[in-house]
Amino acid sequence: MQSQTVEIIHNDRVSAKYFRLGLAWKTPTIVPGHFVMLRVSDGLDPLLRRPFGIYNVIGAKGKDSLRGEGIELIYQVVGKGTNILSMKRPGEKLSILGPLGNGFPYPEDHKNVIMIAGGMGIVPLYLFAKRINRGKLLFGARGRAEAGVAKDFKALDCKVKIATEDGSIGRKGYVTELLEEDLTPGMIVYACGPVAMLKRVAEISLKEGAKCYVSLERAMACGIGVCLGCAVKSKAHNEKENKNYMMVCSEGPVFDSSLIDWDVL
């Protein structure tokens, strides 16, 4: 983990409310699923850092490298902090803390992989898909504009299927319906998105006997397990795991879905 001041390389609008932010940061090794905490203002408002999943590594040397000269984040403008961030220009500086958290475990070579994302849950899965260079992405979005962020996956060696709530592109309906059709026993599921979607993904995976890893999205104040604001209820499966809560920032954000008490999340 490092705390540094880094320079903005680009901060490009990719759709009405989505931006791609490039930061010049000679990175340590990034594990797909890692995130960073950004301070978007030098003042006291907003006071706290904001968590952002790492989308891509810039300038990585070699196909399998996860170290480079910078990182890319994709974010949606949803409030004061991200609105301030959207107005930043190349050459300006930001304070960054990271990389943080635990990422996605890599599957064995013979295992079939399904990635499933809802909305901005697609962010941590791109670097993972790029690293394993196989599998299938199921992406759920509200409509065509939001679904556009999946285009980068089409350049990778993975099949992309889309479900939208308004039916403007792909299947009309929920992305979990695609998972019910495509999942078979023995597959490994990697998921990120809204809690309701992840809960359903966990249920479908359990029913089909498929291993499932989920990346949880939670509000975070510190990012290092101190403030306890991102705690989630856990299920104790043995004495070593006999604890009531897990911290998403320090013990996650990626968890085996079977360890989470979905009824109280």
Q: With cut-offs at 50, 70 and 90, classify the pLDDT of residue 64.
A: low
- Residue 106 belongs to a domain: no
- Mean pLDDT on 220-226: 86
Is the same domain home to 132 and 74? Answer: no
Residue 88 placed within a domain: yes
Assigned token pair, 162: 């889309």
Least confident of 13-17, 168-172, 248-252: 13-17
Burial of 12-23, coded b for 16+ CB within 10 Å and e otherwise, reads eeeeeebbbbbb
Residues in the chain: 265
pTM, 2 dp = 0.92
* pLDDT value at 112 more than 80: yes
**Residue 240: pLDDT above 70?**
no
- Find residue 233's DSSP bridge partners: 245
**pLDDT the model gives residue 237:** 56
Same domain, residue pair 43 and 75: yes
Span 131-157, mean pLDDT?
88
Is the per-residue pLDDT at 151 higher than 90?
no
- The band of 238, judged by pLDDT with boundaries at 50, 70 and 90, is very low
Residues 148 and 249 in one domain: yes
Structural domain contains residue 179: yes
176 inside domain: yes
Same domain, 215 and 123: yes
117/219 same-domain check = yes
Residue 42: pLDDT band (50, 70, 90) is: confident
Residue 84 has pLDDT above 70, yes or no: yes
Are 178 and 171 in contact by the 8 Å Cβ rule? The answer is yes
CATH number of residue 142's parent domain:
3.40.50.80
Domain encompassing residue 35: 2-100
What's the rounded mean pLDDT across residues 82-107?
Answer: 94
